[in-house]
């Protein structure tokens, strides 16, 4: 059995940032376990630009963003293992892993950082009606096939869901010579960034059908046609609105789910709203010595914030390993109020804060000219005005230790105060 | 140059996504005046987008005898939008058969744009 001070599960942006930050804080026996053939995670297939505006003040492609961190990891001499799949983690921080090089092995860790990322919601999770022919891919799978493996997935394409990956793929497929017939979105707004709607759809005259969904997929061997219908307020297809699109491929861009099988095996409590671990201000889970960061905790829009979260987890794990983690009492819980879908972190120990903390949250709907109110037992601690709040964009609220001085109870509620009730 | 009389576009400078209408106006120093933008940056974006639209070109190139079958590449800076499709066609015909470093020039001065195409990653 090998022993490490810190085992990082996952070598994507969160794991890389966490391992490097822990090393900077003096942790030396670190290993990063990555199941793919190379580090970098999903960034390696995101060949478009737009990464790193906050971290590097440049617009990099995914592979470039990844390579900067991989180089740093290698230059400071952090150990990493590729093609290494973690099968189990116990609450005693024993890790079972398999790899071609080492076979089955047990690794013991004094601290663990979970950085497994997320995966795409698939057709099964949607119960899409129709036959089961070839030609139905999640957008990320298609992205990997085209950008890394070098396979084209189809010629005439329908995309379901207007998340950013779907929008990016609409452009990518068009540039590779395919015809994207439409992007259908069941909601009345897109969860994608405006920038992507303009530069991926408008630039190529690809229609975005809001309040529409796929009501049938036809084809025996391969997709032959897709029927798209308008939906009512309850998101049910409206009879009489069906339009059939002859096509050979369907891409699904219908949401990402944090990948937490290992967290659950380790006994880490999850938040049903995020499907990720409950964490505190130090990104520590409910199991002592196990930390989590990045998309395994909650799905981010920007990799820059994943990096930042990874660094926070790495620094906190280093403090924990050096026995410098101060007592957590008192603990303030963050409670999503009206309009707020989730908040990360789930609890805060003010005396553990190393400077300001960013509360990350998502709202449940579109709000214009609204305010975000942070309150404790009816006492308003802070209010922030936002011209636009949308579920597609994660909100970050900066909270300083001073802001928490007025917290009179053990709860902090954050709610959206819509424009109508502003007076 | 195509000087459109009026054009509407959505600003992408910030998440607000202002719907801007740019109207040809010879009295305006930039040739257009804009309606619907909340801030100055919106006006600059809209006029740039009409007079000189640019985009970053990102794609992949085929490889031979390297660890992966495709090498991701990009233009070092955004290039005029009208060059995208010829640029892609040119890159589609290339094959890289030697190890490359991130940032290495794959094609200098793409189509006379003055902008190089560079490797987005190292690959051996």
* B89 Cβ under 8 Å from any chain A Cβ: no
Give the number of other Cβ atoms within 10 Å of residue B42's Cβ: 24
In a domain, B43, yes or no: yes
B65 shares its domain with B115: yes
Tokens linked to B95: 């094959």
Q: Return the sign of the alpha-carbon dihedral for residues B65, B68, B70, B75.
A: negative
B64 shares its domain with B114: yes
Q: Counting runs of H as helices and runs of E as strands, what totals does chain B give?
A: 2, 10
For residues A116 and A224, give the distance between their C-alpha atoms in angstroms, rounded to a whole number.
Answer: 36
pLDDT given at position A123: 75
Q: Which of A61, A206, B37 is nearest to A197 (CA)?
A: A206
User: By percentage, how much of chain A surpasses pLDDT 90?
Assistant: 83
Instruction: Read off the pLDDT band of A421 (50, 70, 90).
Output: low
Among A149, A175, A393, beta carbon nearest to B59: A175
Strand-by-strand arrangement of the A411-417 sheet: A347-348, A332-336, A411-417, A367-376, A379-389
End-to-end CA distance of chain B: 44
Alpha helices in B9-114 (DSSP H): 40-51, 84-92
Q: Which of A352, A304, A392, A345 is nearest to A14 (CA)?
A: A304
* B120 Cβ under 8 Å from any chain A Cβ: yes
Instruction: Read off the pLDDT band of A423 (50, 70, 90).
Output: very low
Burial class (CB in 10 A: 0-12, 13-18, 19+), A386: middle
B17 shares its domain with B42: yes
- From B17, B36, B52, the end of a domain falls on B52
Question: Which residues form the domain of B83?
Answer: 58-119
In a domain, B26, yes or no: yes
Residue A84 DSSP one-character state: -
pLDDT given at position A277: 98
Residues A324-367: pLDDT tens digits?
Answer: 888 777 889 999 999 999 999 999 998 888 788 899 999 999 89
For chain B, the domain total comes to 2
Q: Which residues are A107's β-sheet partners? A: A2, A95
Residue A218, min C-alpha distance to chain B (Å): 32
Asked if residues A416 and A395 have their Cβ atoms less than 8 Å apart, the reply is no
B104 neighbourhood in chain A, CB within 8 Å: none
B110 shares its domain with B69: yes
B27 shares its domain with B73: no
Predicted TM-score (pTM) of this structure: 0.94
Task: Tell me whether residues A59 and B56 touch, CB distance under 8 A.
Answer: yes
B38 shares its domain with B73: no
B38 shares its domain with B65: no
Residue A60, min C-alpha distance to chain B (Å): 8
* B28 Cβ under 8 Å from any chain A Cβ: no
pLDDT given at position A377: 85
B57, closest residue in chain A (CA to CA): A48
For residues A400 and A227, give the distance between their C-alpha atoms in angstroms, rounded to a whole number.
Answer: 52
Q: Return the sign of the alpha-carbon dihedral for residues A272, A261, A276, A267.
A: positive
Location of structure tokens 């955004």 = B78
B107 shares its domain with B84: yes
- ipTM of the prediction: 0.91
A149 neighbourhood in chain B, CB within 8 Å: 69-70
B78 shares its domain with B106: yes
B99 shares its domain with B76: yes
B47 shares its domain with B14: yes
- Cis before A345? omega within 30: yes
Q: Which residues are A179's β-sheet partners? A: A156
Residues A88-108: pLDDT tens digits?
Answer: 999 899 999 999 999 999 999
In a domain, B36, yes or no: yes
End-to-end CA distance of chain A: 64
Task: Tell me whether residues A147 and B55 touch, CB distance under 8 A.
Answer: no
In a domain, B124, yes or no: no
Task: Tell me whether residues A148 and B88 touch, CB distance under 8 A.
Answer: no
- From B52, B68, B83, the end of a domain falls on B52
* B80 Cβ under 8 Å from any chain A Cβ: no
Tokens linked to B108: 């200098």
Contacts of residue A32, defined as CB under 8 A and 6 or more positions apart, other chains included, come to A8, A10, A11, A15, A16, A19, A39, A73, A78, A79, A80, A81
Residues A167-203: pLDDT tens digits?
Answer: 999 999 999 999 999 999 999 988 888 889 999 999 9
For residues B79 and B99, give the distance between their C-alpha atoms in angstroms, rounded to a whole number.
Answer: 26
- pLDDT over 60 at A238, yes or no: yes
Among B9, B12, B70, beta carbon nearest to A150: B70
Q: Which of B102, B96, B44 is nearest to B76 (CA)?
A: B102
- From B31, B52, B73, the end of a domain falls on B52
In a domain, B1, yes or no: no
- pLDDT over 60 at B1, yes or no: no
Asked if residues A219 and A82 have their Cβ atoms less than 8 Å apart, the reply is no
B47 shares its domain with B64: no
For residues A139 and A286, give the distance between their C-alpha atoms in angstroms, rounded to a whole number.
Answer: 33
Q: Strand, helix or coil at B34?
A: strand
Residue A61, min C-alpha distance to chain B (Å): 7
Q: Which of residues A392 and A75 earns the better pLDDT score?
A: A75
For residues A49 and A58, give the distance between their C-alpha atoms in angstroms, rounded to a whole number.
Answer: 10
pLDDT given at position A262: 98
CATH number of the domain to which B113 belongs:
3.10.530.10
- pLDDT over 80 at A126, yes or no: no
- pLDDT over 90 at A159, yes or no: yes
Residues B65-98: pLDDT tens digits?
Answer: 999 999 999 999 999 999 999 999 999 999 999 9
């Amino acid at each position: 059995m090998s022993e490490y001070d810190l085992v990082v599960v996952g070598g994507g942006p969160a794991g890389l940032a966490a391992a490097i930050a822990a090393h900077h804080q003096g942790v030396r026996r670190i290993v990063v376990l990555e199941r793919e053939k190379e580090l970098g995670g999903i960034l390696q297939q995101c060949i478009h630009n737009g990464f790193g505006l906050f971290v590097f003040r440049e617009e990099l492609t995914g592979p470039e963003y990844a390579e900067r961190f991989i180089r740093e990891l290698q230059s400071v001499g952090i150990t990493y293992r590729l093609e290494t799949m973690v099968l189990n983690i116990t609450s005693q921080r024993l890790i079972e892993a398999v790899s071609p090089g080492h076979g089955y092995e047990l690794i013991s860790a004094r601290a663990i950082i979970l950085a497994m990322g997320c995966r795409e919601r698939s057709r099964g999770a949607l119960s899409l009606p129709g036959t089961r022919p070839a030609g139905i891919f999640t957008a990320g799978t298609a992205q990997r096939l085209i950008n890394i493996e070098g396979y084209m997935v189809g010629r005439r394409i329908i995309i379901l869901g207007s998340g950013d990956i779907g929008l990016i793929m609409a452009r990518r497929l068009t540039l590779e010579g395919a015809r994207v017939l439409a992007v259908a979105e069941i909601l009345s707004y897109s969860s994608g960034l405006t920038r992507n709607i303009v530069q991926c759809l408008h630039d190529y005259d690809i229609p975005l059908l809001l309040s529409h969904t796929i009501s049938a997929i036809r084809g025996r061997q391969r997709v032959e046609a897709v029927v798209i219908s308008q939906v009512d307020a309850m998101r049910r297809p409206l009879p009489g609105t069906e339009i059939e699109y002859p096509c050979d491929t369907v891409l699904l861009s219908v949401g990402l789910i944090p990948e937490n099988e290992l967290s659950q095996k380790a006994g880490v409590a999850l938040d049903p709203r995020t499907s990720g671990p409950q964490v505190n201000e130090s990104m520590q889970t409910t199991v002592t010595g196990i930390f989590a960061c990045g998309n395994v905790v909650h799905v981010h829009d920007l990799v820059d914030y994943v990096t930042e979260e990874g660094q926070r987890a790495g620094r906190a794990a280093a403090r924990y390993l050096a026995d410098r983690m101060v007592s957590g009492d008192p603990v303030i819980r963050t409670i999503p109020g009206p309009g707020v879908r989730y908040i990360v972190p789930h609890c805060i120990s003010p005396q553990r804060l190393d400077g300001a903390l960013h509360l990350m949250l998502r709202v449940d709907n579109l709000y214009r000219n609204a305010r975000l109110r942070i309150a404790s037992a009816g006492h308003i601690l802070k209010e922030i005005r936002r011209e636009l709040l949308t579920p597609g964009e994660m909100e970050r609220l900066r909270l300083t230790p001073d802001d928490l001085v007025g917290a009179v109870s053990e709860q902090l509620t954050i709610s959206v105060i819509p424009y109508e009730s502003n007076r | 140059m195509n000087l459109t009389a009026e054009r509407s576009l959505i600003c992408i400078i910030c998440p607000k996504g202002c719907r801007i209408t740019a109207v040809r106006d010879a009295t305006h120093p930039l040739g257009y005046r804009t309606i619907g933008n909340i801030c100055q940056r919106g006006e600059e974006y809209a006029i740039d987008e009409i007079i000189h639209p640019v985009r970053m070109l990102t794609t992949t190139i085929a490889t031979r005898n390297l660890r992966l079958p495709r090498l991701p590449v990009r233009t070092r800076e955004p290039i005029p939008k009208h060059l995208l499709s010829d640029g892609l066609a040119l890159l589609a015909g290339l094959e890289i058969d030697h190890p490359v470093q991130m940032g290495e020039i794959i094609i200098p001065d793409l189509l006379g744009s003055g902008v190089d195409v560079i490797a987005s990653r190292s690959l051996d």
